[in-house]
Amino acid sequence: MTAAQNPISAFTAAEAAAMDTALEAALQGPRGANPLVGAVVVGPDGRQLVTGYHRGAGTAHAEADAIAAAASAGVDLHGSTMVVTLEPCNHVGRTGPCAQAIIDAGIANVVYAVDDPHDPAAGGAATLRAAGVSVRSGLAAERALELNRRWFQAVDAKRPFVTLHIAQTLDSRIAAEDGTSQWISSPESLADNHGIRNRIDAILVGTQTVLVDNPRLTARDANGDATGKQPLRAVMGLRDVPADAAVRGDDGKVLHLPTRDPRKALSVLFAAGTRHVMVEGGSRILSAFLAEGLVDELIVYLAPTLLGSGTPALNGLGIGTLAQAQRWAWDAASGGAVQFLGRDLRLHLLPEEATVPHRTQDTPAAAQSPSPQPTSTDSLPVRTAADTAMGGY
Ligand SMILES: NC(=O)C1=CN([C@@H]2O[C@H](COP(=O)(O)OP(=O)(O)OC[C@H]3O[C@@H](n4cnc5c(N)ncnc54)[C@H](OP(=O)(O)O)[C@@H]3O)[C@@H](O)[C@H]2O)C=CC1
Ligand SMILES: Nc1c(N[C@@H]2O[C@H](COP(=O)(O)O)[C@@H](O)[C@H]2O)[nH]c(=O)[nH]c1=O
């Protein structure tokens, strides 16, 4: 049922304020295979009791996070209102269905912004109503859609969400002239990168990086010990992966993609169950994904180091004139658009609308910019969380 069909369509000022808080909280989560979701429970007197947000695939959903926060703080939620940025789920995932958790907590009302696109007909709203919970939707719907616009697109496009990783010097080098690159990043940046490796489904590098670096591509802690969920390791390129390459590991979680076509690589990964891939490099692989407009977020670790020569971060995007430049917007999700990590800066960006010219049928892919996107006004140098909620994904 949509808000238009719902007989109860008004929202209180307290619910609107709670939705603002929920949208803000959602931005603390990571971009990726799951949408950003925030939830706030409001008491009968309009007071905001607890806030929750989703921390990425495999972790508690925002509603469950808020309910758990209430349980640990000894807050009784009977008769309260759950305000959430996405329709509560109805499926038994790793954390159980949120609709049931809401019913079990005695929550009397649910206000959500947008339907879950995966299962709108038999979603959590119907389960909640059947259990006697009052459900209204549509509050701040446009902002909630914007919050996850790129995620909705990626789900719709049936390809994995793509995070591009670049660990570079101040003068945009990812390796020195002799190919050495370990390490450009600070230990704090490396720890952050390994945290992302834990959350994604797959990590992808080019054959040249395998030959030069012989990387393991596992998620590890500062002692070098494997941590948590390990990503599938994908190597893209026509050359064989050497039999003794470290990337092969001993767990069978390695995939050679014998292609130079990023779309083909993504479709093979999607078919293999990957919903979120981090493309780590090197230069030619990063450039190929960017030139095809296949990047959903960009994470740049910028080290205050100069090399003056060596491998450039990018190797040509087919851009001949400034009007064709790819322009990116600052993304406040996942802890902020700009953060210090030790001596490095971590920059978090998303594709900006507006500046990307339309692709044409007769222009080679490498000489084209990303696929067309809606127009917007100029972006701020650094966006606030609220700005991003309004104009980001
Ligand atoms: N600082 C950092 O963040 C990182 C640094 N690096 C560094 O980058 C350097 C390697 O970068 P680079 O030389 O650019 O190599 P890449 O790792 O980008 O691999 C390039 C190879 O991938 C294959 N390939 C697959 N698709 C394409 C495509 N669309 N376009 C071009 N090639 C494709 C080709 O091999 P084939 O013939 O097999 O098809 C090509 O030779 C190393 O020195 C490494 O240390 C690497 C990763 C991260
Ligand atoms: N040099 C460099 C990175 N390099 C990336 O890390 C890979 C090595 O992975 P592993 O063998 O698992 O430690 C390497 O091949 C390349 O993809 N990453 C960064 O965050 N910062 C850096 O300075």
Shared domain check, 199 and 75: no
Its pTM stands at 0.84
The confidence score (pLDDT) of residue 67 equals 97
Residue 116: what pLDDT?
84
Q: Coil, helix or strand for 219?
A: coil
Pull the structure tokens for residue 41. 């429970």
Residue 239 and residue 100 share a domain = no
Which residue puts its alpha carbon closest to atom 27 of ligand 1?
Answer: 260
Give, using CA atoms, the residue closest to atom 7 of ligand 2: 215
Tokens 């999607």 -> residue:
270
Strands (DSSP E) contained in the chain are: 38-42, 48-53, 81-86, 109-114, 134-137, 161-169, 173-175, 202-206, 232-236, 254-257, 276-281, 297-303, 311-312, 328-330, 338-341, 344-351
Does 170 lie in the same domain as 100? no
- Gyration radius (Cα) of the chain, Å: 22
Domain end call among 104, 119, 151: 151
Q: Are residues 111 and 163 both part of a single domain?
A: no
| 2 within a domain of the structure (yes/no) | no
Angle (CA) 177-178-181 rounded to 5° is: 85
Quote the pLDDT of residue 226: 95
Residues marked active site are found at: 63
Mean pLDDT by runs of 10 across the 393 residues of the chain is 52 97 96 93 97 91 96 97 95 75 97 81 83 96 92 86 97 97 98 95 98 97 94 98 97 97 97 94 98 96 98 97 96 93 97 49 32 29 31 20
Residue 5 domain flag: no
Residue 58's domain comprises 13-151
Residue 333's CATH number: 3.40.430.10
pLDDT score of 376: 30
Q: Are residues 228 and 102 in the same domain?
A: no
| Number of domains the chain is built from | 2
Q: Is 279 among the domain residues?
A: yes
Residue 264 in contact with ligand 1 by CB distance below 6 A: no
Looking at the structure, do residues 109 and 125 belong to the same domain, yes or no?
A: yes
The answer as to whether 369 is a domain residue is: no
Distance from the alpha carbon of residue 211 to the mean position of ligand 2, in angstroms: 13
Residue 27's CATH number:
3.40.140.10
Pair 165, 211 in one domain: yes
How far apart are alpha carbons 393 and 391 in whole angstroms?
7
Please indicate, yes or no, whether residues 170 and 316 belong to a single structural domain of this protein: yes
Do 292 and 186 share a domain, yes or no?
A: yes
The answer, yes or no, to whether any atom of ligand 2 lies below 6 A from the CB of 182, is yes
DSSP state of 21: H
CA–centroid distance, 98 to ligand 1, in Å, is 43
Rounded Cα–Cα distance for residues 365 and 368 (Å): 5
Residues 84 and 37 sit within 8 Å (Cβ to Cβ): yes
Predicted local distance difference test score (pLDDT) of residue 349: 97
**213 and 334 together in one domain:** yes
- What 3-state class would DSSP assign to 120? coil
- Residue 213 CA: nearest ligand 1 atom is 45
The reply to whether ipTM tops 0.95 is: yes
Q: What is the pLDDT, as a whole number, of residue 92?
A: 64
Residue 387 lies in a domain: no
C-alpha pair distances (Å), 110 with each of 27, 121, 237: 21, 17, 50
- Tell me, yes or no, whether 383 lies in a domain: no
| 288 part of a folded domain | yes
pLDDT reported for residue 363: 32
| Whole-number pLDDT of residue 342 | 98
* Residues 46 and 65 occupy one common structural domain: yes
